[in-house]
Amino acid sequence: MSSLIEKSLTEIHSLLIAGEVTAVEAVKACLDQIEKTEPEIKALLAKDGENALKLAAEMDKLGPDASKPLWGVPVVIKDVLATKGITTTCGSKILENFVPFYDATSVAKLKEAGAIIIAKANMDEFAMGSTTENSAYQTTCNPHDLSRVPGGSSGGSGATIAAGQCFAALGTDTGGSIRLPASFCGCVGVKPTYGRVSRYGMIAYGSSLDQIGPMTRTVEDSARVLNVIAGHDKRDSTSVDCEVPNYIEALAERTDLSGLTIGLPEEYWGEGLSEEVSEACKNAIKKAEELGAKTVPVKLSMTEYAIATYYIIAMAEASSNLSRFDGIRYGHRSKDADELIDLYTKSRTEGFGDEVQRRIIIGTYVLSAGYYDAYYCKAAQIRRLMRNDFEKAFESCDLIAGPACPTTAFPVGELTADPLQMYLMDIFTISLNLVGMPGMSLPVGIGKDTNMPVGLQLMAPAFGETTMLQAANVLEKSLPDFSKPQQI
């Protein structure tokens, strides 16, 4: 393993800016690691190594630019984000050869900050799934144990980070799709507040839930990426026009957890939680207390409705969002359709996988005349109650902590036949998407039974990323080190 790829993003950036490492060297190190690991990990879809090297060479010619916080840093983008000139499939056959002529805003911002895109990350088709097993192209393997899933839907992003193929990846989180793979792959994954990062160019799944966020090997690295991608975008009306703090500078302001109150929701620490996850997370909480944090019990009593509410809203929105994939203007078009309805039906049946079709059908059902009030309206009401629940909980604490997922990464194929059990993997993550608040998964240990990483989830009130990242940064330094890529 090249020593370069063992560096964190923050470290490699310093070396790049100092001129001790060239952009070409950084990109080459990553491409070498991809070549070495990818046959087994299968984290990536489109690869853009040649262009990445070309760009790196041009950048090297001009010399390092210290004003660019990601100058020369190789990154990987989840395939749900439009990348100009690079095939963007969203993990679906329906977009098999789709090449956007525009960049997602988050992608454009990374480029502007000097990052070099080397590849697109595998994912569950249209971000619907928790394992990448729903990708139309390949199932990604967990670098910690190749027989296990990396989590999803941003499983490619999680695995590429854990395998040392790049220094930062973008993921997206609609119901836990950043935090779950971060937890399974032992990396840091941040889901920002809804509206913190522009969704423009992200192929929508559940528009009112989707957020883009960083996946990295350290908290500081995530703060660096979030600094770049956060902020209002006039092309996304739901992006919020408020000041973005400097998350990196903020990290230096806190060296312990004194004065911080962490809420522990009983609904997250009880039944259904595997023993090894419980133990690792409890150890982390103990560490937090040793570092000066006060812990208090809080109630999130609406949690039991979260999954039902989430799936109604997400699928309703998805059923409409995915209507544009109709075989008319781009994407897969059936070869043997002879009239319009036939063209729609065949193109979509051939182009979409089973899980996507399941969600479109359920989403269509819950929005149908006569069912709208019973499902969609009710879900929207519960969503408001959940927000009240969280706001009330945050009256007595600064952050809320709990496990990111009930288990560690499970074997490939274990839950594919049981969608309901699969949906339950999201139980601890989806509430935050419904209330729009930020959360992250921090690797806090290795499960004693499976020997797989365990992620602790930290949650904060809306736009409270600063405190969340500060606490995670302090905690990270006193816990097992996950900053080095996994040996394959």
Catalytic residues: 78, 153, 177
By C-beta, is 81 or 185 nearer to another protein?
A: 81
Toward another protein, which CB reaches closer, 235 or 384? 235
Within 8 A by CB and 6+ apart from 221, the residues are: 8, 9, 10, 167, 168, 188, 214
In terms of CB distance, is 247 or 352 closer to another protein? 352
Kindly list the distances between the CA atom of residue 218 and the CA atoms of 26, 200, 256, 465, in Å, as whole numbers in the listed order. 18, 26, 17, 15
Starting at the edge strand found earlier in the chain, the sheet holding 399-403 runs 44-47, 116-121, 74-78, 168-173, 211-216, 188-191, 439-446, 453-459, 399-403, 261-265, 294-298
Sign of CA dihedral 316, 319, 322, 328: negative
Q: Which is nearer to another protein, 101 or 270 (CB)?
A: 101
Token pair, residue 341, equals 């309805």
Judged by CB, which is closer to another protein: 36, or 378? 378
Backbone angles phi, psi at 411, to 5 degrees: -65, 145
Q: From the CB of 158, what's the least distance to another protein, in Å?
A: 21
Min. distance of Cβ 394 from another protein in angstroms?
Answer: 23
Min dist CB 202 to another protein, Å, is 5
Cβ 315 to another protein shortest distance, Å: 12
Report the relative pairing of strands 168-173 and 74-78 from DSSP bridges: parallel
Binding site for another protein (CB under 8 A): 80-82, 88, 90, 95, 98, 100-102, 104, 199-204, 206-208, 234-238, 316-317, 319-320, 322-326, 328-330, 340, 344, 364, 367-369, 372, 376
Name which of 464, 360, 447 is nearest 403 in CA terms. 447
Q: Least distance from C-beta 242 to another protein, angstroms? A: 14
CA 16 to each of CA 92, 113, 432: distance values in angstroms, whole numbers, following the listed order: 36, 13, 37
Choose among 465, 441, 81: nearest CA to 242. 465
Check: CB of residue 306 under 8 Å from CB of residue 423: no
Shortest gap between Cβ of 441 and another protein (angstroms)?
Answer: 25
Question: How far are the Cα atoms of 24, 86, 132, 203, 344 from residue 128, in angstroms, in the given order?
Answer: 35, 22, 9, 12, 21
Q: Which is nearer to another protein, 271 or 339 (CB)?
A: 339
Q: Which residue in this structure is represented by tokens 């941040």?
A: 190
